[in-house]
Structure 1
Amino acid sequence: MKEFLFQADDLHEKYLIQENQKIEKDKALVNQILESYDQKSVAEILRRVSHHDWTRETLNRWLSGKGVQRSLSQIEVDMLQKMLPEPPAHHPHYKFRFIDLFAGIGGIRKGFEEIGGQCVFTSEWNKEAVRTYKANWYCDPEQHKFNEDIRQVTLTEDPETDINDAYRHIDNEIPDHEVLLAGFPCQPFSLAGVSKKNSLGRAHGFECEAQGTLFFDVARIIAAKQPAIFVLENVKNLKSHDKGNTFRVIMNTLDELGYDVADADMNGPNDPKVIDGKNFLPQHRERIVLVGFKRSLDIKGDFSLKNIDQLFPEVRPAIRDLLEPEVDNKYILTENLWKYLYNYAKKHQAKGNGFGFGLVDPQNPGSVARTLSARYHKDGSEILIDRGWDMQRGEADFDDSDNQKNRPRRLTPRECARLMGFEKPDGKDFFRIPVSDTQAYKQFGNSVVVPVFTAVARLLEPYILRAAEMKERKKDRISA
């Protein structure tokens, strides 16, 4: 009997070890989920699927070790796994690697992943945007790095940092890649004199001229990592910003770094570098796209963004195709807000300035919305969905009961995801929105029209694959 007692103690100890290991693994999974979702939501989901008494408090106590410690059931683990983004179909057999700077919620990333790329580094400082990014994009724990403040990588916060030390630090922190993607903010440059530049002994002119801007961080990374191709995105007004000085410094910097920018000499109203999202989705949204090729690789070829028109959809979705069949009444404008917007528009109309709000008729298949902005959460005025309000009635009829009943409404966050191309109306490419409506509106308003950059990626695909192949051949020659 003693022998069985010893065996029982041994089995019990082994069980406890395995159970503790399982609990730690489960906690790691929950903490990964909590990078995107709040504790209250996760607890509710666990409670519904398992019927255990999960609350925000019990979940927090379980994570901290102060509550009852038990491993999660298989159904609980399965549910949590469904909340994580799946790796792309080609993972881990990628064709090339890319990095995603000033990533926002991943609007540029999507197209490059679809042509076989693997994201190996992401940088985004906004914590709410990071939540949405991690909820939707697979980040390989072994082959992907996530960074919040890019200046910690580029060491640009300290102007006295030795440039060679900065380049070495960048090279250590950022994995090698063929393509660099960046939607950097637009900032004015502070011009510095040649004497100062010479006195500091910096290796590049941009190290002096562009310092203090976030484009400077992009330039340092390009200088240190020498990607074969880059894709930079910004607002259309980048070209005229600061009387053209900003764009001049950017183009001079890219040239100095040894890159040819596609369509660099093209300007005017037909500049192919400026792409309007309305060619893909019913939203007027112009963005400038700078595609650069490393000059020494001689891979530019005949690439031009003019050819993007070959990838326009045969039939562009209509506004009505993007709308949800039913929406909560909270998205309908209040009587006071609608009256304010109406009177504001009438005042400016009288001055010849046009309407102050954008009313979109969902019954008109040709309707194109104004540009969705980050301030959409405030009043939704740039894109209001017409619910039957009679525009022809006189001001005296504004308070008519039918007109008030048919007040227009905002887009829902889900509809914004569709208008920006993150999600298709048929439910494909379902986009997770783990943040509040206010944050979601800000994130979509700051993002890009996804199909635009999917098209850019497809145009670039043969050039990227050629660059990746050249890099592999070079590696083989060195190893031989």
Structure 2
Amino acid sequence: MESSMDNGHIYRSIDLFAGIGGIRMGFDQAFGDEIRTDFVCEWDKYAQQTYRANYHDDFEITGDITKVDESEVPPFDICLAGFPCQAFSVAGKKQGFNDNYKGRCRGTLFFDVARICAYHKPKVIFCENVKGLTIHDKGRTFKIITETLEQLGYNVYSKVLNSRDFGVPQNRERIYIVAFRKDIPSSGFTFPAPTDSTKTIADIMEDKVPSVKYYLSDVYVETLRRHKERHASKGNGFGYVIRGHDDVAGAIVCGGMGKERNLIIDDRLTDFTPVTHIKGEVNREGIRKMTPREWARLQGFPDSYQFPLADVHTYKQLGNSVTVPVIRAIAEQIKVVLDGKVHSQPIIMQSAIEEWM
């Protein structure tokens, strides 16, 4: 099989549910100048701002994918889609797993991925989602997704991978789906083997002392402790977690206890004067939240990646994003297949941590 470059072309890509561009970054790193993004869709206006700060495309970001006509999407070879997980209901002719994708997926955002790819028939469809997708609705949702891709004419591969195995100290399991069009020999495709499981929180901590605003007040620390004690007395494991420097972070999430589940001790602070309104005083134990840049490093974003918005938006965007080194490692294996080198050994990439050190 000839590669796209052998024909004087590059692989054309579309970025659906693009977020802040993490999936695109992983593919860009893997494919280099052999890939070009021609269409981006993301409905969240704040994510769009971060995306534009880092990707300077000559086209506008499309908002609502449900209003996009598939014929208006430019032709593409690779579909990138980190679609949200929604409930799937059997509609149409009520034929269950024998029904077609329109009857089984309508009303879900995956339907929009399916209809766009049904029209354009790209070489590859790449999807990422939470690990729970595999057991959602007793496994029915995941089965519908894979069978839909098969009905569209694709060979489907999937695997749960953990970010901590790919050069970042974050325990984050996600399901990755790779679908190759059936006319592309893909039986030799393999998901990447772990590349680096040695990194710890110490590797992603900021060199300089972070702003005092990231340090918790003594009142809030006491509130967290009481909250944890109440749950512990009921036999629950809820509550804040302080991670050691030689530990790995728990999965960062967009809300709730996301930041409090990944607190760290940083005793470098010397000026405890608050810069924001807090109750009480800045705690003297050195307990602080990780900074947005540290979260970005947990997701494998280089320090050159810009986050132009307030912290509240940046935390949310990073919690919703993907771990770039995992995407890159999978994309490198996808490229092996597309270049007709399916018998090559999996490529071992350099740790993302080393790229910003």
> Quick one: which of 163, 171, 175 aligns to 1:284?
171
Is 2:150 aligned against 1:255? Answer: yes
Structure 2 portions without partners, runs of 5+? 268-281, 342-357
**2:27 pairs with 1:147:** no
Question: Which residue in the other structure is 1:134 paired with?
Answer: 52
Unaligned runs of 5+ in 1: 1-89, 155-169, 198-203, 264-272, 389-402, 468-480
For the aligned residue pairs, the C-alpha RMSD in angstroms reads 2.5
Instruction: Call closer, same or farther: CA 1:94–1:422 in 2, change over 3 Å.
Output: farther
Q: State how far apart, in whole Å, the 1-side matches of 2:288 and 2:331 are.
A: 35
Partner of residue 384 from structure 1, selected from 255, 263, 272: 263
List per-residue Cα deviations over 1:162-217 (Å, max 9, x = no partner): xxxxxxxx13x1111111100000000121252699xxxxxx71111110000000
2:296 is matched with which residue?
A: 417
The 3-state SS of whatever aligns with 2:170 is coil
Using the alignment, how far apart are the partners of 1:206 and 1:454 within structure 2?
A: 30
Aligned residue among 194, 205, 214 for 2:100? 205
Shift of residue 353 of structure 1? Answer: 2.6
Determine which structure has the larger helix proportion and give its number.
1
Corresponding position of 1:359: 242
Contact 1:344 1:356 in 2 (8 A): yes
1:262-303 CA-to-partner distances (Å, cap 9, x unmatched) read: 25xxxxxxxxx00111112111111100000111x1321311
Partner of 1:303: 189
**Residue 373 in 1 paired to residue 253 in 2?**
yes
Q: Alpha-carbon deviations, 1:123-166, whole Å to 9, x = none?
A: 00000000000101231x2xx55211111114xxxxxxxxxxxx
State which of 238, 248, 264 in structure 1 corresponds to 2:133: 238
Aligned to 1:266: none
1:216 — aligned with what? 111
Distance in structure 2 (CA, Å) of the matches to 1:215 and 1:239: 15
Tell whether 2:199 aligns with 1:317. Answer: yes
Partner of 1:186: 85
The one-letter code of the counterpart of 1:206 is Y
- What CA distance in whole angstroms lies between the structure 2 residues aligned with 1:412 and 1:137? 23
Distance in 1 between the 2:51 and 2:258 partners?
A: 25
The answer (yes or no) to whether the contact 2:215–2:283 under 8 Å persists in 1 is no
Partner residue of 1:98 out of 5, 8, 13: 13
What is the CA-CA distance between 1:251 and the residue it aligns to? Answer: 1.4
Deviation at 1:326, TM superposition (A): 1.2
Which residue of the other structure, out of 209, 212, 228, is the alignment partner of 1:345?
228
Matched AA of 1:383: N
Give the Cα–Cα distance (whole angstroms) in 2 for the partners of residues 380 and 195 of structure 1. 44
CA deviations 1:242-261 (Å, max 9, x no partner) are 22221121112111111110
Q: Which has the larger radius of gyration?
A: 1
Cα drift, residue 462 of structure 1: 2.2
Query: After superposition, what is the alpha-carbon deviation per residue over 1:432-469, rounded to whole angstroms, capped at 9, x for unaligned?
Result: 111110000000000011100010111111223349xx
| Alpha carbons of structure 1 residues 379 and 182: separation in structure 2 relative to 1, 3 Å | closer
1:463 corresponds to which residue?
337
Describe the shift of the 1:290–1:190 C-alpha distance in structure 2 as closer, same or farther (beyond 3 A). Answer: same
Offset at 1:330?
0.7
CA contact (8 A) 2:160 2:174 kept: yes
1:455 counterpart SS class? helix
Q: Secondary structure at the match of 1:382?
A: helix
Q: CA deviation at 1:350?
A: 2.8
Q: Distance in 2 between matches of 1:328 and 1:196?
A: 58
Q: Distance in 2 between matches of 1:443 and 1:275?
A: 21
Tell me if structure 2 keeps the 8 A contact 1:236–1:286: yes
* Map of 1:274 onto structure 2: 160
Task: Determine which structure has greater relative contact order: mean sequence separation of CA pairs < 8 Å that are 6+ residues apart, divided by chain length.
Answer: 2
CA distance 1:94–1:421, change in 2 (3 Å): farther
Tell me the secondary structure at the aligned position of residue 113 of structure 1: helix
Are the aligned partners of 2:188 and 2:337 in contact in 1 as well (CA < 8 Å)?
A: no
2:210 corresponds to which of 318, 327, 331: 327
C-alpha separation between the residues in 1 aligned to 2:124 and 2:185?
A: 9
Tell me whether 1:436 sits opposite 2:310 in the alignment.
Answer: yes
**1:291 to 1:379, Cα distance in 2 relative to 1, 3 A:** closer
> Distance between the aligned counterparts of 2:222 and 2:85, measured in 1?
35
Shift of 1:340: 1.4
Q: Is the 8 A contact 1:358 1:370 kept in 2?
A: no
Cα distance in 1 between the residues matched to 2:292 and 2:226: 27
**How many Å separate the matches in 1 of 2:95 and 2:332?**
44
1:177 corresponding residue in structure 2: 76
Letter in structure 2 aligned against 1:105: I
Say how many residue pairs are matched: 316
Native 8 Å contact 1:94 1:117 kept in 2 = no
Q: Give the secondary structure class of the aligned counterpart of 1:260.
A: strand
Give 2:25's match in structure 1, choosing from 110, 113, 117. Answer: 110
From the superposition, tell whether residues 177 and 466 of structure 1 become closer, same or farther in structure 2 (CA, over 3 Å). Answer: farther
- Tell me the residue number matched to 1:228: 123
> What is the identity, as a one-letter code, of the residue corresponding to 1:248?
K
Q: Residue type of the partner of 1:374?
A: C
Task: Give the Cα separation in 1 of the matches to 2:232 and 2:9.
Answer: 55
Residue identity (%): 39
AA matched with 2:315: Y
Q: 2 CA distance for matches of 1:407 and 1:327?
A: 11
Quick one: which amino acid aligns to residue 369 of structure 1? A
Deviations 1:32-51 (A, max 9, x none): xxxxxxxxxxxxxxxxxxxx
Alpha-carbon distance in 2 for matches of 1:417, 1:279: 17
- The residue type paired with residue 207 of structure 1 is K
The alignment partner of 2:83 has SS state of coil
If the length of structure 1 is used for normalisation, what is the TM-score?
Answer: 0.62
Measured in 2, the distance between the counterparts of 1:226 and 1:145 equals 23
